[in-house]
Structure 1
């Protein structure tokens, strides 16, 4: 497949206009076939089977092919043609739209004799095409936005306002809406009947196009004429105008259409449109509409939208709506609104049973996977029996939280009484893996990537294993799974590579820091015997001994010497460690913390010693002393910038309050 940029001239002889569609389409079709892009124009829903076999990610490959085909079509269009498909994201839709608009014009050139088209002996005779020929000047005037000329033509052919283009079924209103000729739309709507606004082209009404484009003026104009068109859905993706505006995030159009749409049109028995509006509103955090709709129709909570997603699932997909820190007033409002919607969903859920609860179970595990502990907490408070729910692998919600390494969700297990906690902790899945076996499995990569360095990643894995171990029975710690492995064996097997990476990371860091520490030690040791200003030849005492700044030099030199020595010893301890799994929990991090801390103090003290020595020797030349002392802060700043975040993260991870909060209030 070609990937280099091409110009229109290398694809077609001339760009598409009102008179060359037939030749243009032949050139372009052959080019798309040669570039293996024609499949994207002919297919609409999914890639062909052979494409799925070739690509590791068939959806991504299909999107790329569709984008290349669409780009090829767009650069081969003239200005008028491009305006029709400017906002299209489908190569097929663009091709069909151009065919619908320009194929008729190509079939009916302006100099075509009327007799040849109307002759009953003509085997290619099409009455609709023939009738349309008289309306062609009117449609051209509409496309160009010239209402004065279009109005003159309407006096000759009054039915032209309601005429449809053969093959595409487009009316003048549809074309004017596509091109956003607002003044023409307003005039045409007045001349048309209500049922004329229901005419579809490629499965879309003119109102659907206006809503998708976000043209509020055109939308209002059409809705004032007919309310019935509000409930007419597109044929290709089953979307009503309000859903199209919602997906395109034209919220002025959405709020207007919501205000004029009858509530019964959004009820579950009328289709997935109400649920779709709730789901999309939740997805973009417009909770006012979602909350109002759910309050007015609670059944929407578990109704599927056109994509098969329920509002409860939509809420479980968005961890960002439950911010841990509400930094601004707007985020606080979003947080409150999202919790209100969730509480209302919980009320609806208490009246469900049987098959209706399957969707709730799926939403629970989705929330666990995304780490939305508020969702999890409120659901279980509303229906405590859901703590026993399990997924396809028969893992309960807390086992799944361990698998996904969602500590906030897992911590909620301490809201259960000890009896329930013990019972849940000793359940097994289809592979006879208990909770501790699951803790012995490797974290998802997305969670590990949030932790700096393989050593800290290994430490976090050990912390998870030790935490889960505290709530399991002693016999569960030795229980075997379907592979005849105990929990600790599972941990060792799954973390073998991470131990090696952690050892490599520790040794590389320690080696680099040992070199720096040894260099500082050497310099500071030599500086102690070659003091600035020299010594008195008779007594051997430093000449500037009685100056305060000299004492600053001596003290900082000593601090730097002792700190660098300590640092080197700690890093040597890391290099000589035998790197057992449990060493990553406390021993190795502690040595690294001490080593980095003392190295930082030695660098800082060395810069102070250097600055004080420089001041002693050339203190009368302040113009040079001050800038040099200022530059002495650069190494300290660089160290803080590069290593201090790691030092803080390691200290918090090792000696902080911990990842798991056991001090939670139990569910009543």
Structure 2
């Protein structure tokens, strides 16, 4: 069992294992948040607010905090006159504030801190500060809250070992503004090591890069300046090389960029498995690292020539299926299309002879790609066919609805007045929306019909993205058709049919139609986003092919589905 698991379990232990009827009653009251029952012991047992209630030494405050009973905690803290009662430790060595930090309950932490700020520096389980306990169990919001409450006085009085722990916490939790402040005050933190023996550079390289975190660039700039001033050899050492490979694996391209600026020779290093930087980026599908190497010109060409001990060049590695979980849980056709785009991008930078090179298993890169992705492609084809059938059914209903509406709308007097426009203009809007909606749905149906035509996938057919391309265009045309008739057709139809009702009723109906379709697209945001990206990638691919046949060479930035 890990230390984080044991700490978490200690918070939610058996609070009812106690002796004495009144102690059991208070335990149950604190656990359920029943203040009336607990306060009824004021006369008979006035010390119940700070008495040890069970074998773990928990007080009522410990129990209420562990189970998140905020109102109970608030009332208990309010009536506590001796703030030292808030500093009581249970047998695990935790104060109630430590338990609040572990559970991530910021509201309770604010209540306790407001009453007794000293709680911030009282160590808990395993001699760790509350902020360290919160970080250990992954309560990042609590970590940020506690850092905001950590004053300069506390930092000055902390042993350097604890400053190191706080420094590592700041950048691993993406709190770069505080990491920047610590580094300005204590530059030698740049060369410090954590309890696992990792240097700050190695830990930073392994950390997940958050491009939206504020202060990251400033922190990196100061970090590498401090690193060079404190130890001029560290950026030339084996530690720097290991950090480079860790950064490539985690996708931390900004750390890589700084490393290259300080020591360009790192580009050509290989790890213990004989893999160079480009191979690691391709195997782990780190597109940001690939883009960085893509713009390094001569270095990129040298790295692309490397062949590993099993005879695989970088295109063989690109042909292997990405690690499970790399894409989260999207639908299979998006995964395989992204894999195909990735394979094609890598194919652009390898020499022509590498495209047909065989590894020790006598397989070319395309053979590897086909073998690795065969099962995924079969699932994707089944998925695509199912989606196409569903869309065909929905579009058939939509066209039927549109034609029925077109045939039933009255066409007598067109001189009446309606909101915003004259009736004649509303007729034109309605007819155009029907015409455009039906046309778009018809085009979409053609796309989906071509998708469900039986086909096979094999190495000789190169890629299968034409099937996904047709489905993607079909989805976009279908959604455009639904939007056109759903919004403009519905609004104009309501106005034309119910012209006898007051204008405010029509306005409410129109607003409701708009809201309904707005929500429809809000919920489909991710689908639309992915479809738009795939469409752009396909257009670029086909555009480049056409221009190449006309004698024009054009190259776009590598474009992937991350």
Distance (Å, rounded) in 2 between the aligned partners of 1:485 and 1:333: 47
Deviation of the 1:406 alpha carbon: 1.2
Contact kept in structure 1, 2:444 and 2:474, CA below 8 Å? yes
Q: TM-score normalised to the size of structure 2? A: 0.67
- Confirm or deny that 1:63 pairs with 2:5: yes
Q: Are residues 216 and 603 of structure 1, via their aligned partners in 2, closer, same or farther at CA, if it must alter by over 3 Å? A: closer
Q: Are residues 178 and 253 of structure 1, via their aligned partners in 2, closer, same or farther at CA, if it must alter by over 3 Å? A: farther
1:78-117 equivalences under 5 Å are 80-82=51-53, 85-86=57-58
Contact kept in structure 1, 2:457 and 2:464, CA below 8 Å? no
Q: Which residue in 1 is equivalent to 2:275?
A: 395
Contact kept in structure 2, 1:365 and 1:397, CA below 8 Å? yes
Q: Are residues 611 and 237 of structure 1, via their aligned partners in 2, closer, same or farther at CA, if it must alter by over 3 Å? A: closer
Q: Are residues 300 and 525 of structure 1, via their aligned partners in 2, closer, same or farther at CA, if it must alter by over 3 Å? A: closer
Q: Of 343, 350, 362, which residue of structure 2 is paired with 1:484?
A: 362
Distance (Å, rounded) in 2 between the aligned partners of 1:241 and 1:503: 52
Deviation of the 1:292 alpha carbon: 7.0
Q: Which residue in 2 is equivalent to 1:341?
A: 223
Deviation of the 1:556 alpha carbon: 2.6
C-alpha RMSD over aligned residues: 4.7
SS at match of 2:167: helix
Deviation of the 1:411 alpha carbon: 0.9
Q: Are residues 430 and 346 of structure 1, via their aligned partners in 2, closer, same or farther at CA, if it must alter by over 3 Å? A: farther
Distance (Å, rounded) in 2 between the aligned partners of 1:583 and 1:146: 77
Q: Which residue in 2 is equivalent to 1:314?
A: 203
Q: Are residues 456 and 240 of structure 1, via their aligned partners in 2, closer, same or farther at CA, if it must alter by over 3 Å? A: closer
Q: Which residue in 2 is equivalent to 1:374?
A: 254
Q: Which runs of 5+ in 2 are unaligned?
A: 24-47, 60-79, 103-111, 137-141, 416-422, 542-554
Q: Are residues 601 and 465 of structure 1, via their aligned partners in 2, closer, same or farther at CA, if it must alter by over 3 Å? A: closer
Deviation of the 1:436 alpha carbon: 1.1
- Confirm or deny that 1:502 pairs with 2:502: no
Distance (Å, rounded) in 2 between the aligned partners of 1:405 and 1:255: 42
Contact kept in structure 2, 1:448 and 1:457, CA below 8 Å? yes
Contact kept in structure 2, 1:399 and 1:435, CA below 8 Å? yes
1:476-625 equivalences under 5 Å are 476-528=354-406, 530-533=407-410, 543-544=412-413, 548=424, 549-576=426-453, 578=455, 580=457, 586-607=465-486, 608-609=488-489, 611-622=491-502, 625=506
Contact kept in structure 2, 1:520 and 1:602, CA below 8 Å? no
- Confirm or deny that 1:180 pairs with 2:61: no
Contact kept in structure 1, 2:10 and 2:92, CA below 8 Å? no
Q: Deviations over 1:153-210 (max 9, x none)?
A: xxxxxxxxxxxxxxxxxxxxxxx9896389xxxxxxxxxxxxxxxxxx9999xxx9xx
Q: Deviations over 1:218-252 (max 9, x none)?
A: 999x9xxxxxxxxxx99x96879998899796556
SS at match of 1:304: coil
Q: Are residues 237 and 545 of structure 1, via their aligned partners in 2, closer, same or farther at CA, if it must alter by over 3 Å? A: closer
Distance (Å, rounded) in 2 between the aligned partners of 1:497 and 1:246: 40
Q: Are residues 372 and 512 of structure 1, via their aligned partners in 2, closer, same or farther at CA, if it must alter by over 3 Å? A: same
1:195-210 equivalences under 5 Å are none
Q: TM-score normalised to the size of structure 1? A: 0.57
Deviation of the 1:65 alpha carbon: 11
Deviation of the 1:281 alpha carbon: 3.9
Contact kept in structure 1, 2:190 and 2:223, CA below 8 Å? no
Deviation of the 1:311 alpha carbon: 1.3
Q: Are residues 82 and 435 of structure 1, via their aligned partners in 2, closer, same or farther at CA, if it must alter by over 3 Å? A: farther
1:294-309 equivalences under 5 Å are 301-309=190-198
Q: Which residue in 2 is equivalent to 1:649?
A: 530
Contact kept in structure 2, 1:282 and 1:290, CA below 8 Å? yes
- Confirm or deny that 1:433 pairs with 2:312: yes
Q: Deviations over 1:314-354 (max 9, x none)?
A: 3224334543xxxxxxx544541243214433565652488
Q: Are residues 510 and 643 of structure 1, via their aligned partners in 2, closer, same or farther at CA, if it must alter by over 3 Å? A: farther
Q: Are residues 321 and 563 of structure 1, via their aligned partners in 2, closer, same or farther at CA, if it must alter by over 3 Å? A: closer
Q: Of 227, 237, 243, which residue of structure 2 is paired with 1:363?
A: 243
Deviation of the 1:576 alpha carbon: 1.3
Distance (Å, rounded) in 1 between the aligned partners of 2:427 and 2:317: 62
Q: Are residues 441 and 178 of structure 1, via their aligned partners in 2, closer, same or farther at CA, if it must alter by over 3 Å? A: farther
Distance (Å, rounded) in 2 between the aligned partners of 1:313 and 1:658: 38
Q: Which residue in 1 is equivalent to 2:105?
A: none
Contact kept in structure 1, 2:177 and 2:219, CA below 8 Å? yes
Larger-Rg structure: 1
Q: Which runs of 5+ in 1 are unaligned?
A: 1-46, 48-58, 88-144, 148-175, 183-200, 223-232, 267-271, 324-330, 534-541, 664-668
